Structure 1
Amino acid sequence: MNPQIATMIDGILAREGGYVNHPSDPGGATNFGITLNVARANGFVGDMRNLTRDQARDIYYREYIVKPGFLGIAEIDPAVAEEVIDSGVNAGQKRAALWFQQALNVLNRRGVDYADIAEDGIIGRGSIAAFQALRRKRGDSGARRLMLRALNGLQFMHYYGLAKGGTKFEDFMPGWVDGRIGALG
């Protein structure tokens, strides 16, 4: 694993913290933000309190970076990749991939700058090509700024939808807004 990816994972580990078993969290017992189900699917057999930082790093790399195709984003723009990866950890990889694709599609000026891509939650060559086209059109820093703002807006609306109406997810809203929305990049 390259040092930049390792640094991203360490940042996620720091944001997620250690063992938690909050009654409002449908994921149940987690450690470093990794649920029991994800840990078991990756060969961990012990009590979640005993999941090590190194085991968590390996799971993050396989499940939250390589598997959903986010490594391709990281090779182009580590800041955007970190936002997508962090969103995938907190809200699901497919949802984070979908937000990436939705942001690209609304930033292409109705197809003038580059063609729309499928919004299927699968990061492949088309998604990467659209991201590269956005960077050619807006420049590296301009594309980064646009993508981070769009991704944060989509992420906020997701959290808002979960928490509105006094649901159990409202317990997490201050932390989500403070620690996730606009916290990276």
Structure 2
Amino acid sequence: MDIDDLIDAAIGREGGFSDNPADRGGATRWGITERVARANGYPGDMRALPRETAAAIYRRLYWQRPGYDRVAAAMPLIAAELFDTGINMGPKVATGFLQRALNALNRGGADYADVAVDGLIGPHTLAALDGFRARRGAAGERVLLKALEALQGARYMTLAERRPANEAFLYGWLANRLG
């Protein structure tokens, strides 16, 4: 999948307009919150947010800015997962999951050095990703994907446990965001 396919899938998954009182994100259209839309120059009614505007926001904020386009060059499945998780939890959280997983999978630093879990894709994170890929190959990408999904699932459970209103979303998160 390329980024256009990933954006189309995200928009399809997120759907049209929503303003669920239990959702702290408030009014959304195509999965873009009103706060994000306003911060990116959209002044209109959220019910009328153009699909093209949402797509441009996804590309800029959830693909290019966090550096997932650079991850895609080495591991496209991982980049796709980071993109989707970043949409739902924020790119810093998604990138933090990658960094935690890379640190835990480096065999105590034997394969590559640990990276700071700072939520930013930089040269050290990319070097660790390259080290992981060199050591584990194509099969490693699937294992790394499982580690990311495990971290994501654990976070969903914690969110639901800490805030009972999030229980309304837990089933959908688990059904639509994992695997």
Please report the TM-score for the alignment, with normalisation by the length of structure 2: 0.96
Q: Which residue among 129, 151, 159 is the counterpart of 1:154? A: 151
Matches within 5 A, 1:68-79: 68-79=66-77
SS at match of 1:164: helix
Letter of the structure 2 residue corresponding to residue 86 of structure 1: D
In the alignment, which residue of structure 2 is the partner of 1:130?
128
Q: What do residues 98-151 of structure 1 show as CA deviations (whole Å, max 9, x unaligned)?
A: 0011111101111111110111001111111111111110112x1211111000
Q: Which runs of 5+ in 2 are unaligned?
A: none
Matches within 5 A, 1:78-157: 78-140=76-138, 142-157=139-154
Letter of the structure 2 residue corresponding to residue 126 of structure 1: H
Runs of 4+ with >6 A deviation: none
In the alignment, which residue of structure 2 is the partner of 1:20?
18
Q: Which residue among 167, 175, 179 is the counterpart of 1:178? A: 175
Q: What CA distance in whole angstroms lies between the structure 2 residues aligned with 1:46 and 1:158? A: 33
Q: What do residues 132-182 of structure 1 show as CA deviations (whole Å, max 9, x unaligned)?
A: 111110112x12111110000000111100101661000000000100011
Letter of the structure 2 residue corresponding to residue 68 of structure 1: P
Flag the 1:154–1:48 CA change in 2: closer, same or farther, 3 A: same
Q: What CA distance in whole angstroms lies between the structure 2 residues aligned with 1:166 and 1:55? A: 32
SS at match of 2:17: coil
In the alignment, which residue of structure 2 is the partner of 1:32?
30
In the alignment, which residue of structure 2 is the partner of 1:62?
60
Please report the TM-score for the alignment, with normalisation by the length of structure 1: 0.93
Q: What CA distance in whole angstroms lies between the structure 1 residues aligned with 2:59 and 2:163? A: 35
